Structure 1
Amino acid sequence: MRDFSGAVWHVPALGLEPGELPPTGAVVDVSARAAAPRQADRTIAEIAGRSGGVYSDDLHAARDPGASAAFRLAHKRRLEALRMRGVVTRRPDGTWDVPADYLERAATLEAVRGGGVSIKVRSWMALEAQVMARAETWLDGPDAAGVSNAAAELMELRAARTAFLREKGFLQPGQTRLSEADRQRLRAGELARVAAIEAAGSDRQSVSAATGASFEGRFERVVDLAQGRMALIGTEKMFALVPWRREMERYRGEALVIEAKGSGIGWTLSAGRTRDLGR
């Protein structure tokens, strides 16, 4: 990767799943990975703590009847990965012995996963493509304006982006930042254009759930927009674009239920647990 001062860095991405890898040109933050266990580790430790240091699928189902088989399977896969690192042991009957210091050891492994670095995507769209995008982009936000020691290239891109927004009427004379109304208009316009292209190409209808409504379909693929990565959930006749989260990746190809709530968009596996996607 190349930073904004022009220096080239080689950053390990061993901890990222294939669906999490940012595309070429994406804007990312790289930092030291914090030593913290995953939420799945906390669930495993809680169940084992109540069961004399033992975890099993049956114990998990009893503790959380709403947890789907696929959700519980993800916890067993986590335990299997940690078994290979010597953190837990598996009994012949399929149950697991979880040590008292499980969370500490899991956190230590998380800290070194992927070479000990954390990669957070700030924009899934390349900087050059953002300049003339009819969308809200990373270049429009405070992160781009706040880059210290920015290279001349970034300053030129920001200037070109500002000129484009003025030309298209999104910035008035003397105005240096987009209004919230224009940001919303750009986001809605980008989503509508991408949905129209998908509808024409797949001969399907685009749907957007109103608050309280739901839509069920298969997680087909991701679509990278200036406003973020979206998951395309579809059926034979309809599809929906919803905010993507890394937790969804293990369920790519499976049926998900998407529900619009007051707090944003949530998703579940069929008869599974709800996950919040945010607004």
Structure 2
Amino acid sequence: MAGEADGRFLDLRHEPGEPKRQFERTLRLRRLSKLGRMGLATEHAPGVWELNERLEPTLRELGERGDIIRNMQRSLAADGIERDPMTFRIHEGAPAMPVTGRVLDKYLANELGDNLTVVVDGIDGRTHHITNIDPMQLEDARIGSVIEIGRAEATARPSDRTIAAIAEDGIYRPSRHLEQAKFEGRVPGGDYEGHVDAHVRRLEALRRAGIAERIDADQWRIPEDFESRAAAYDAGRTRQASVRVLSAFDLEKQIGADGATWLDRRMIHGKTADFAPTGFGQQVREAMDRRREHHIAQGDATGSRDGRIFYRRSLLATLREREVARVGAEMAEGKALLFRTATDGETISGKFTGTRQLSSGKFAIVEKSHEFTLVPWRPVIDRELGREVAGIVQGGSVSWQLGRQRGLGL
């Protein structure tokens, strides 16, 4: 009909003599009546219709939405779940407000494989369909994993202002920046090389975005509108989702785990206000009740007559240490290496050989010739895989000192 319309108008007032064409006219009138109820066609006189200029793109969008809803329903059905389609939320890119829930499905959004779509059963009682996610962000998230998805934050970059200020005739030189930094003496800790290297890494990222140009090791071409383009680049990236894996394990595995789980962190800190009384929110509440019973049975908590629960002091740290000791002992048998627990305040060093997902979180494996240890993982260490690393264990985390020449703490 769109192809035959004259300036978007269709005149179907005259009934043709052939039965086949009469049938086609009847079908068209019925279809136009449907489009009219959808606001996509208008009848100006009996048999005279005007098609909305947004007819085809709107129908395509509705068709895509229908496909998305069917995909969401299949994802729920695969887990034996039913949800009211009225609770479905479809996001184009990162959601405006962070979404926390379990992964029901994740799949490639196109043939190029350059981004993923994830279906999340939220603690807010809604089912979320979120597109355009970097596959690396969901690398550790499996079906059933608990994640949080929000918008990546774009913060102001003082480094960009510094680069623009130091550049002469559109050329930024790291060597000149180093001289100026040493002369001014304002770099915390006196790590002047690390300070300049951080600016060079920023330029490298902007080079990939086509904003800066690397001429040689000591020269970068900086455009006149460098700061505004860099800010626009960061603002554009905020449309990308930022994913945090809160637990690589599903609720059932967390209930009986010997480590410090996501359920424990929520439970200990009393963060339950955002749990909906239906759907996954209700399932999390029930799982927390069972987790409390598990702690009481293990002697890690006691219940009073008035219903209050008292947990062992430093429960999260105790659980984390307990799980790390068990997993380390199991790994030692396969590695033929001695497992040693890292203590708080200790400086650990060795080769970073891989990672291990525990219910307490993700841990890095650091090996020496005769022993190895498990320490909390941070994204910054990934690029050091297979290399010698060093860091200080502090309060359940590690302050990595990467780069032997610079001693840069990250």
TM-score range, shorter chain: 0.7 to 0.9
Per the normalisation by structure 2, the TM-score is 0.56
Structure 1 or 2: more strand by fraction: 2
DSSP-derived class of the 1:145 partner: coil
Is the CA contact (8 Å cut-off) linking 1:45 and 1:98 kept in structure 2?
no
CA 1:255–1:166 in structure 2 vs 1: closer, same or farther (change >3 Å)? same
Of the three residues 227, 246, 259, the one matched with 1:135 is 259
CA 1:50–1:138 in structure 2 vs 1: closer, same or farther (change >3 Å)? same
Q: How far did residue 67 of structure 1 move? A: 2.9
Q: How far did residue 7 of structure 1 move? A: 1.0
1:168 aligns with 2:286: no
Is the CA contact (8 Å cut-off) linking 1:44 and 1:55 kept in structure 2?
no
1:116 aligns with 2:240: yes
Q: How far did residue 83 of structure 1 move? A: 2.4
Equivalent residue pairs, number: 268
Identify the residue that residue 7 of structure 1 maps to in structure 2: 127
Is the CA contact (8 Å cut-off) linking 2:154 and 2:238 kept in structure 1?
no
Partner Cα distance (1:17, 1:49) in 2? 35
Of the three residues 77, 86, 98, the one matched with 2:210 is 86
Of the three residues 145, 148, 166, the one matched with 1:50 is 166
Q: How does 1:142-157 map to 2 (within 5 A)?
A: 142=269, 145-150=272-277, 151=279, 152-157=282-287
Encode CA deviations 1:43-93: one digit per residue, 9 max, x unaligned.
Answer: 46535523435434534655454439xx94x76564344224332123367
Q: How far did residue 103 of structure 1 move? A: 4.8
1:34 aligns with 2:153: yes
1:194 aligns with 2:327: yes
Moved more, 235-244 or 96-105: 96-105
CA 1:267–1:79 in structure 2 vs 1: closer, same or farther (change >3 Å)? same
CA 1:103–1:200 in structure 2 vs 1: closer, same or farther (change >3 Å)? farther
Q: Could you say what the CA RMSD is over the residues aligned between the two structures, in angstroms?
A: 3.3
What percent of counterpart residues are identical?
Answer: 26
Moved more, 177-186 or 219-228: 177-186
CA 1:251–1:44 in structure 2 vs 1: closer, same or farther (change >3 Å)? farther
Q: Which structure would you say has the larger Rg?
A: 2
Q: How far did residue 199 of structure 1 move? A: 1.9
Identify the residue that residue 23 of structure 1 maps to in structure 2: 141
AA partner of residue 384 (structure 2): Y
Partner Cα distance (2:395, 2:318) in 1? 20
Q: How far did residue 132 of structure 1 move? A: 0.5
Is the CA contact (8 Å cut-off) linking 1:132 and 1:164 kept in structure 2?
yes
Q: Which runs of 5+ in 1 are unaligned?
A: none
Say which structure, 1 or 2, has more relative contact order (CA 8 Å, 6+ apart).
1
